[in-house]
Amino acid sequence: MAKSDGLGRRSFLQNAGMTALLGAVSGGAPSVAAAATSAFAPGTKFDFDTPYNRFGTMSTKYDSIIRQYGKDSIQVGMGIADIDFKAAPAITEALRKRLEHENWGYVDTPVITAEITEKVVAWNKKHYGVDVDPKSVVVTMGVHPGLIATLKTFSPKGSKVLLQTPTYNGFYGDLTASQTLAEEVLLKKNADNTFSMDFEAFEKQISVDTNSFILCNPQNPTGNCWSQADLLRIGEICLKHRVVVLADEIHCDFVAKGQKYTPFASLPNKAVVDNSITFKAASKSFGLAAHKVAWFYSTNADYMKRIAVNHRADLNTLGMIANLGAYTPEGEEWLGQLVDYLDGHTSFATDFVNSKLPGVRTHKPQGTYLMWLDFSEYAEKIGTAKMADDYNRTRAAGTPMLSKEQMLERHLIKNARVHLNAGQSYGKGSDHHMRMNVGTSRKTLELALTNLASALTRPPSMYRRGGRGGHDRSCSLHSARVRSRLERPRLQNCNRALVKSGQRWNSASVSLAGRVFRSGMTCFARSCR
């Protein structure tokens, strides 16, 4: 470890992640560029087993579900793709040292992004054997802004963008922002519930107004780590038809034992590689999604020059500091242990789902910490299609329609107290599927799976139902359209009291609610949200 006195610039940046504080503080104030101390020693065992409570932290994964469905509606959030662990100590230490400065003015962006670039280049070389030209790297505010800028560059308004579905639902938002249209190509579903590319269908979908293809590798939500042969063939098709490949490889650090992630930029065909841009970030690897720092690069200097016209990034100081803390020897060791830990999770969860969740099938993902669950048999058993039809036929005016997957999502919240992502947002081929995030402690994972097993093995007659159309009572709270937010807590309390007493939301209870809440809300007994 570097000594605290006489610390060189490079050594300081690598150990403290404090590039933004270079130079003397004006007015004779003492320099804040002091080396961060670390207790890290090679072989340190990091704790991922202790459950980490994220309730009450404004977490999208937990608190937004509570806000939507009510207090105590879930025990486990297994939806949005972030992880339930304390950050790597190196990240926390880098942020702590920066916080000591207590000034949040502009930073010297070229300097700090140069340091991030240096770490990104070294990481890709060490772990994936890819030589990334540092001059080609653009640090941006997340993968989405980078993708949007690139789509605006290569895909005119109204043109088509190829997506292999099921795929990451966030891509559809990028298409909306760039005013482009999705051209969905179904992945082949194999007998063992795994997926593969359909090259023939892919090429047939390319038309004169198809200019871009967003490749997801590893694939979210299916968990595929595409082979070199797959990537070469898809890349050759795109090159032939002048379709630019946008390779989103944000989950690349999570690869199961015995599997391999192949960077698109590592392919042995230079022309294919030159027809691509790669997008990466530390956000999934180190749980830094909200810090909004990512990067993209290409071997094609002309492509990067053209993208620059449409790209702007106002970077977050703490996000950049956090990234510098992540790409340290301690951060590397932390991530390596986490990858091994979560690989054990996906093995455990795969066996559990296939053996103890009747009517549900899945496969062990090759990459990511996400699992793609096929609920087809179970959804048919409980009639989610009819639930959705009944709801959509009787829903209150102005309220959105719900899919059968969203009805299943609500069913599982009520009966298992577990939130999974509804499959319909992941494009074609997602019918009756749900996405499950296993990036949590083993105890929390076991709780979620046990809850699901209990709910799925319960006879249909035992599901708590109420209202019309056989809606389960998870929808009872959301059958009330609350006009005043101030009245929501009282509505929730009333709902819980009714459930506790065994009552149902019928016309009488709605009338009661109306009297209790007077003019503050209106209840619709036949609707659920």
Length of the chain (residues): 529
Residue 150 corresponds to which tokens in the numbers above? 């690139």
Alpha helices, DSSP H, located in 421-485:
442-456
Coil/strand/helix, residue 76 = strand
> Hey, which residues does 278 pair with through a beta bridge?
247, 297
Band of residue 519 on the pLDDT scale cut at 50, 70, 90: very low
**Residue 95 maps to a domain:** no
Q: Does residue 269 share a domain with residue 131?
A: yes
Higher-confidence residue of 144 and 521: namely: 144
Q: Is the pLDDT of residue 352 over 60?
A: yes
Q: Does residue 335 share a domain with residue 304?
A: no
Residues 6+ apart with CB under 8 A from 105: none
Residues 179-228 have pLDDT tens digits of 999 999 999 999 988 999 999 999 999 999 999 999 999 999 999 999 99
Instruction: Tell me the average pLDDT of the chain.
Output: 83
Q: Please, is 208 exposed, middle or buried when counting C-beta atoms within 10 Å of its C-beta (0-12, 13-18, 19+)?
A: exposed
Quick one: pLDDT at residue 468?
Answer: 31
Q: Does residue 391 share a domain with residue 486?
A: no
Higher-confidence residue of 493 and 402: namely: 402
Band of residue 39 on the pLDDT scale cut at 50, 70, 90: low
**C-alpha to C-alpha distances, 379 to 220, 372, 409, nearest whole angstrom:** 22, 15, 11
Give the whole-angstrom CA distance, residue 261 versus residue 368: 11
Give the whole-angstrom CA distance, residue 99 versus residue 457: 51
Q: Does residue 68 share a domain with residue 7?
A: no
Residue 152 corresponds to which tokens in the numbers above? 């605006």
Q: Please, is 47 exposed, middle or buried when counting C-beta atoms within 10 Å of its C-beta (0-12, 13-18, 19+)?
A: exposed
Q: Does residue 469 share a domain with residue 459?
A: no
**Residue 256 maps to a domain:** yes
Band of residue 459 on the pLDDT scale cut at 50, 70, 90: confident
Q: Does residue 404 share a domain with residue 334?
A: yes
Q: Does residue 149 share a domain with residue 53?
A: no
Quick one: pLDDT at residue 117?
Answer: 97
Q: What is the domain-level CATH number for residue 430?
A: 3.90.1150.10
Q: Does residue 230 share a domain with residue 367?
A: no
Which helix H or strand E contains 189, and what residues bound it?
strand 188-189
Token pair 């760039």: residue: 178
If one counts the domains in the chain, the total is 4
* The 3-state secondary structure of 331-388, one letter per residue: HHHHHHHHHHHHHHHHHHHHHHHHHHCCCCECCCCCECCEEEEECHHHHHHHCHHHHH
Q: What is the domain-level CATH number for residue 189?
A: 3.40.640.10
Token pair 């992941």: residue: 426
Q: At what angle do helices 384-394 and 404-416 cross, to 10 degrees?
A: 110
Give the whole-angstrom CA distance, residue 151 versus residue 322: 28
Which helix H or strand E contains 277, and what residues bound it?
strand 276-281
Q: Does residue 380 share a domain with residue 281?
A: no
Residues 275-311 have pLDDT tens digits of 999 999 999 999 998 899 999 999 999 999 999 999 9
Whether 413 and 419 have beta carbons less than 8 Å apart is answered as yes
Whether 115 and 324 have beta carbons less than 8 Å apart is answered as yes
Rounded average pLDDT over 351-360? 97
Q: Does residue 296 share a domain with residue 196?
A: yes
Rounded average pLDDT over 353-362? 97
Q: Does residue 458 share a domain with residue 469?
A: no
**Residue 101 maps to a domain:** no
Containing structural domain, residue 10: 1-37
Q: Angle at Cα 109 formed by Cα 104 and Cα 111, nearest 5°?
A: 120
**C-alpha to C-alpha distances, 225 to 193, 260, 305, 343, 377, nearest whole angstrom:** 15, 7, 30, 14, 27
Q: Is the dihedral of CA 120, 309, 314, 61 positive or negative?
A: negative
Q: Picking from 319-328, 362-371, 463-472, which range would have the lowest pLDDT averaged per residue?
A: 463-472
Give the whole-angstrom CA distance, residue 227 versus residue 259: 9
Give the whole-angstrom CA distance, residue 369 versus residue 354: 17
Q: Does residue 443 share a domain with residue 416?
A: yes
Residues 226-265 have pLDDT tens digits of 999 999 999 999 999 999 999 999 999 999 999 999 999 9
Domain boundary among 285, 306, 327: 327
